[in-house]
Amino acid sequence: MIIMQKLMKVLERKFLTVYFPLLVLTIILFAISLQLTGTYQVNSTSGSILSMDFFALSLLSYFFGLKHGLDADHIAAIDASTRKLIQQGFRSTYVGTFFSLGHSTVVILVTVAVMVTARSIPISDVIHFELYGSVIGLVVSISFLFIIGLTNVFVLISLRRLFKRLRKGNYDGKTMDIMLNRRGFLTKYFKGFSG
């Protein structure tokens, strides 16, 4: 019974400090979106005019954002940060909130940059930017994923060697923990940042 009361107090505090402000902010933003609702006409690259309802776009963006927030890379980043903070003895209550705020800030800045750029480029040149941009984006994405894949292969090889030595009895548990806490070759460069 006492455990249940403590759990309810923790949940009430989390609701009041995290979820309630997010709920209020969401309602306020949807109210603003409703106030701005109207049908806007946008010129497409093909020259035709598209009609868009602002509130419908807001709903679509909101639900795509919710879906995007459950992507594996986001969950892994938040999970790793949470585990690291707990391991160091810090509270990790707002990790997801601050991750989402940082991520959405970058998205908003990129959106503003695209809007400013799109207004300054004639429509006839947009096709060239689309072609070059898609190729550059593809090359950057493939290169990044390839580098991550190679890094994971090296980590896998080093872990395999480590476990072989452990099976042979060359390492004890303490040495094993030290080896595993080195966390890769970039740790020596970013040691001051990770604590």
Q: Domain for residue 28, yes or no?
A: no
Q: Residues 175, 130: one domain?
A: yes
Rg (CA), the chain: 24
The verdict on residue 170 lying in a domain is yes
The crossing angle, in degrees rounded to 10, of helices 20-35 and 54-68 is 150
pTM flag (> 0.85): no
Residue 139 resides in a domain? yes
Residue 179 to residues 112, 139, 174, 186, Cα–Cα distance (Å): 45, 35, 9, 14
- Rounded Cα–Cα distance for residues 195 and 192 (Å): 6
Q: What does the pLDDT look like over 139-149, one tens digit per residue?
A: 998 998 898 88
C-beta separation of 65 from 81 below 8 A: no
pLDDT at 28: 92
- Any domain includes 64: no
- What total number of domains does the chain contain? 2
Going by C-beta distance under 8 Å and a sequence separation of 6 or more, which residues neighbour residue 166?
Answer: 176
d(CA 107, CA 115): 12
Is 43 domain-assigned?
no
Q: What share of the chain in percent tops pLDDT 90? A: 4
Average pLDDT over residues 150-170: 81
Q: Is residue 47 part of a domain?
A: no
| Residues near 3 by beta carbon (within 8 Å), at least 6 away in sequence | none
Kindly report, residue by residue over 26-73, the tens digit of the pLDDT: 899 888 888 877 656 666 555 555 556 777 888 888 888 888 888 888
For residue 71, the SS3 value is coil
Q: For residue 37, which of 50, 52, 26, 25 has the smallest C-alpha distance?
A: 52
- Full residue range of the structural domain in which residue 143 is found: 125-183
Q: Are both 97 and 141 inside the same structural domain?
A: no
Those residues whose C-beta lies under 8 Å from the C-beta of residue 190, and which sit 6 or more positions away, are none
Cα–Cα distance for residue pair 140/156, rounded to 1 Å: 24
Q: Quick one: 132 and 158 in the same domain?
A: yes
